A and B are shown apart, each in its own frame.
Chain A
Amino acid sequence: MKTEKHFITADEKTETPVIIIDHLYKKFGKNVVLKDFSLTVKKEENVVVLGKSGSGKSVLIKCIIGLLKPDSGRIEVFGKNTPELDHDELDKIRAKIGFLFQGNALYDSMTVRENLEFPLRRHWIDFSQKEVDALVIEALENVNLAHTVDMMPEELSGGMLKRVALARTMILKPDVILYDEPTTGLDPVTAREIDSLILKLQKKYHTSSIIITHDMNCVKNTADRVALLLDGKCYAQGKYEEFEQSADKNIKQFFE
């Protein structure tokens, strides 16, 4: 396992990362949330960022997608430092990044179809109506919810909402997906279904992911690598099994 004092495996050194987070700082007033945080994500890798509530996990992925501006540090996505990009350049990068919000963030005034069409219509990519329809159905079939296409979000259950949100996240076939607590608030069975979907879609579309969670089952099921965010820093990173066997009290508390 790799902590501040940790080891780096050989493949990490050689493979080109799609995301490089380097010495990231972010504070809100006097509250320093991220303090010299560094992490890399390789192509087709699922990195789970583990941390307690309020540790700054969501702040981290919001900095990556440009919803929050870090105070200092670099966030390179596909070789571009996102905090320095202008709005148009950021939009082009965002078209390659999917973001699954913790609360799904489906537009409640729109049908499922309109929710899924929205990113297709907005990203300056010209799709014909036929292509849009095909992409919407494909995205919904991926999450086994093609029958909900003309329903309103209020008609769907919590698990279905999460799957529709996942379908919307995947509709532009992004290269990177950021998951903000994908299983929070779901029953264990539905949570495992979401884990399976994350893995299924990753295999199908060859995506890289950062998954923010404190659900240890989700970590176990989805992580290629785990990073522990503690006191604003990447305290430790390694395989799930290494975390599970660790004697470090800060790591052990997640398995108790």
Chain B
Amino acid sequence: MAIITSIKVFFGETGNIARFTGRFFSTGLKPRFEIRELLSQCYIIGYKSLPLIALTGFIMGLVLTMQLRPSLVDYGVESQLPVMVGIAIVREIGPVITALIFAGKIASSIGAELGSMKVTEQIDAMEVSGTNPFKYLVATRVLATTLMLPVLTVMGDAISLFGAYLGVNIKSVTSFKLFFTQVFHSLSFGDVSPAFLKTFFFGFAVGVIGCYKGYNSSKGTRGVGSSANSAVVLSSVLIFIIDLLAVQLTDLLGLN
């Protein structure tokens, strides 16, 4: 019985998220556009996430290089370290780790903010003030996450590669120009474009889940906490599912 209930809850929740996403396309993308709020959210979601993304990206590049070196030394291909690190960061690790960090910071913040607005009737107050709260709160945040995550991923990748460059130079000496020439020569269109494109979907998933959980938060502080928590968990899982689908798709299209 418990399994049947869980399955029912799962499909019920999936249906609700699908309906919420449909409402975003049917209502959120129609005029009147909330440009001012969108720009404000881009600033909060994008610019204010940059320090965290930069720090984690830098450490990730540095650590990845240090971890890979011994294996490559064993095989006598230490010179290929920039190539391996470059491909790993740009194709997979950069977008996924950035998206996960982004989900942890932004999905929880959106979930808690909208959840708190819901329980304190601020969303109702917005509605009686002649504002469509879905457009003002949800559409702007989903668009901001969709547009900002790709930008943050590109920046995160760049900083991560810089971290990798420093990592390479810990135990050997490689010039900045040689390192980045090796990295960019190893990357093709098929490496960069799918990795970049999937970040739009990651960003969309983070925005939709954060807003869905906050907008449908139950009453009380417990409800708000639960919204923030489940927004992070669900958006993180979705990032992996989208990643899996993206890899399959690029494989089918022969971009790998």
- A123 and B121 CA atoms in complex are apart in Å by 19
Instruction: Tell whether, in the assembled complex, residue A101 and residue B121 are in contact, meaning their CB atoms are under 8 Å apart.
Output: yes
Tell me whether B129 and A122 are in contact (CB under 8 A). Answer: yes
**Is B253 an interface position by the 8 A CB rule?**
no
Instruction: List residues of chain B with CB within 8 A of the CB of A124.
Output: 130
Interface residue? B132 (CB, 8 A): yes
CB nearest neighbor in B for A171: B129
Which residues 107-159 in B have Cβ within 8 Å of A in the complex? 113, 116-117, 120-122, 124-132
B125: which of A66, A95, A101, A109 is its contact (CB, 8 Å)?
A101
Contact for A105 among B120, B130, B131, CB less than 8 A: B120
A118 at interface, CB cutoff 8 A: yes
Main secondary structure of the interface of A (DSSP, over half): loop
Determine the chain B residues whose CB is within 8 A of the CB of A94 once the complex forms: 128-130
Q: State whether A87 touches B132 (Cβ < 8 A).
A: yes
Which residues of A have CB within 8 Å of B126?
107, 118
Contact B124 A105 (CB under 8 A): yes
User: Is A119 in contact with B130, judged by CB distance below 8 angstroms?
Assistant: yes
Per-residue 0/1 for A22-64: is the Cβ within 8 Å of any B Cβ (1 yes, 0 no)?
Answer: 0000000000000000000000000000000000000000100
Q: Which of B113, B116, B129, B132 contacts A123 (CB 8 A)?
A: B129
Which residues of A lie under 8 Å from residue B116 when comparing CB positions?
108
B125 engages A123 (CB within 8 Å): no
> Do A101 and B124 have beta carbons less than 8 Å apart?
yes
**Is A103 interfacial (CB 8 A cutoff)?**
yes
A10 to chain B, nearest CB (A): 35
- B193-235 interface with A by 8 A CB criterion: none
A91 within 8 A of B: yes
Chain B residue contacts of A102, Cβ below 8 A? 121
Contact of B130 among A95, A101, A106 (CB under 8 A): A95
Docked-complex contact A91 and B130, CB < 8 angstroms = yes
- What residue in chain B is nearest A88 (Cβ atoms)? B130
Q: Is the CB of B130 within 8 A of A108?
A: no
Q: How far is the CA of A94 from the CA of B129 in the complex (A)?
A: 7
Per-residue CB proximity of A65-93 to B under 8 Å, as 1/0?
11100000000000000000001000100
Which of A97, A103, A108, A109 has a CB less than 8 Å from the CB of B128?
A97
Specify which chain B residues have a CB less than 8 angstroms from the CB of A106 in the assembled complex: 122, 125
A235 at the interface (CB under 8 A from B): no
User: With A and B bound together, what is the CA distance between A94 and B113 in angstroms?
Assistant: 25
A120: nearest residue on chain B (CB-CB)?
B129
A36 to chain B, nearest CB (A): 26
A99 interfacial by beta-carbon distance below 8 Å: yes
Chain B nearest CB from A206 CB (Å) reads 21
Contact B128 A65 (CB under 8 A): yes
**Contact among B113, B121, B129, B132 with A119 in the assembled complex (CB-CB below 8 Å):** B129
CB distance from B240 to the nearest CB of A (A): 32
Across-interface contacts of B113 in A (CB, < 8 A): 109
A67 in contact with B124 (CB, 8 Å): yes
Residue in A closest to B116 when the chains form the complex, CB atoms: A108
A242–chain B nearest beta-carbon distance, Å: 33
Mark contacts of A117-151 with chain B using CB atoms, 8 A cut-off: 1 yes-contact digit, 0 otherwise.
Answer: 01100111000000000000000000000000000
Bound Cα distance A102, B128 (Å) = 14
B residues with CB within 8 A of A: 113, 116-117, 120-122, 124-132
Known contacts A105-B124, A119-B129, A122-B130; can you find 6 more A-B pairs with CB under 8 A?
Answer: A105-B120, A105-B121, A105-B122, A105-B125, A106-B125, A122-B129
Residues of chain A touching chain B, judged by Cβ–Cβ distance below 8 Å, are: 62, 65-67, 87, 91, 94-95, 97, 99, 101-103, 105-109, 118-119, 122-124
A-B contact pairs, 7 of them (CB 8 A): A94-B130, A99-B128, A105-B124, A107-B122, A107-B126, A109-B113, A119-B129
The 5 closest A-B pairs by CB, nearest first: A105-B125, A123-B130, A105-B121, A119-B129, A122-B130
